[in-house]
Amino acid sequence: VADPPLIYLDHAATTPMRPEAVAAMMPFLSDRFANPSGSHRASRNARLALDEARDVVAECLGVKPGGIVFTGCGTEADNTAILGVVRARGGIAVCPSTEHHAVLHPVEHTGGRVVPVDGNGVVRLDDLAEAVTDDVTVVSVMAANNEVGTVQPLAEISRLVRRQAPKAVLHTDAVQAACWLDLAALTPLVDMLSLSGHKFGGPKGVGVLWVREGVAFEPLLLGGGQERDRRSGTHNVAGIVAFAEALRLATVERAAGNARITTLRDRLVDGLLALSPCVVETVPRAVKIPGSAHVLFTGCESESLLFLLDQQGICASAASACASGAMEPSHVLSAMGVPRERARGAIRFSLGVTTTDDDIDHVLAVVPALLDRLLAAPTRAMGR
Ligand code: PLP
């Protein structure tokens, strides 16, 4: 039996690389292989590409190139922001309970404060105001959530943090926002911002931490002093060049892409909701990024549904990719107060540049039979 066609609806886990980004990186994997930190002509040639990539990223963010620090991934950018500020200045770190673990764990590791969210995953501003006291040195609030897609009200949060703790650094994890939100509109609100290449058509293993001029932090990696002593380690020139090309394309295509993908997402979610009253939308679309379709199939086990979807060629996920495989309900859904029995049937479909009308048709065509099967035998193990 031939494999079913692949319907990839897991763009929040990672995106396929844009062909232009693949093409951009190839010369740096072959002829232009030199270490950009050297002084000879081959190094200068690689250095030129690095400088150009930095300029492109800065322009997409509406900031000066000197604030761009290339890192090894989004996790490293987040860790550097939280641990780096606390190590440089002491004090307390604060973040909402639905942050990615790349923020949550460093905040907890430093003995920081975790602030509750409401039922939509939006940070509770009263609780945030209470948590952001004078001794707070870094506050981190994600621009968009990786699991349920909730967009945080960063303008309000920025005003609150400036009022409560004027010397605190405000960081945002914009890893899931890069495809959908205007990053140049976010940078004026914050002091640090994290990105990860593989979430917008770039390569895995390349991240950026943008740092506002004058913001002090200790680097995580010590060594050769690259990135003006802010991130040691030989530059991944090929990855950085591809990161810049993917971010440039994501930026110029954002408005048109958002409109197209919102239409596809709405058709998918409306179609699923119409199937059965057991299908519930986790967060209203008004507070979400366009690519996110997160639904609760009440009475189903998400692992069983994912298994059946996979058999039909449909790639989706149950929680954030890093947490899937664990049987515990996701920390995001728990923090939002989603009851455990509902959280068990959570599925995240995440759309992106390559998603088509046919993909959505296919999902809507196959899910009814899968639901019938699961709801008829809700406790049957799926034999994985
Ligand atoms: N932050 C968010 C919101 C994410 O979704 C992810 C990846 O899933 C990360 C950080 C970590 O990025 P990376 O995979 O580049 O380490």
- Residue 122 CA to ligand 1 center (angstroms) comes to 19
Average pLDDT, the chain: 95
Q: Alpha carbon of 315 to those of 192, 264, 284: distances in Å?
A: 33, 16, 23
Selected catalytic residue, list 60, 278, 315, 322: 322
73 has catalytic annotation: no
The CA 374 to ligand 1 mean position distance, Å, reads 32
Q: What is the per-residue pLDDT across 121-179, written as a single tens digit (0 to 9) for each?
A: 999 999 999 999 999 999 999 999 999 999 999 999 999 999 999 999 999 999 999 99
Indicate if ligand 1 lies below 6 Å from the C-beta of 177: no
How confident is the model over 33-80, as pLDDT tens digits?
999 999 999 999 999 999 999 999 999 999 999 999 999 999 999 999
In whole angstroms, give the CA distance from residue 345 to residue 331: 14
**pLDDT of 380:** 42
pLDDT in tens, 347-375: 999 999 999 999 999 999 999 999 999 98
Measured CA to CA, the distance from residue 369 to residue 285 in angstroms comes to 26
Average pLDDT over residues 261-269: 98
Planar angle of CA 95, 101, 106, nearest 5 degrees: 60
> For residue 226, what pLDDT band results from cuts at 50, 70 and 90?
very high
Residue nearest to atom 13 of ligand 1 (CA): 74
Q: What is the pLDDT of residues 76-99, one digit of tens each?
A: 999 999 999 999 999 999 999 999
| Reported confidence tier of residue 322, pLDDT bands at 50, 70, 90 | very low
What is the enclosing helix (H) or strand (E) of 65?
A: none
Q: Is any ligand 1 atom within 6 A of the Cβ of residue 175?
A: yes
**Burial class for 229, CB neighbours closer than 10 Å (0-12, 13-18, 19+):** exposed
Going by pLDDT thresholds of 50, 70 and 90, the confidence category of residue 378 is very low
Q: How far is the CA of 215 from the centre of ligand 1 (A)?
A: 23
Atom of ligand 1 at shortest range from CA of 12 = 5
Residue 152 alpha carbon to ligand 1 centre in Å: 17
Predicted confidence (pLDDT) per residue in 194-203, tens digit: 999 999 999 9
**Nearest C-alpha to atom 8 of ligand 1 is from which residue?**
13
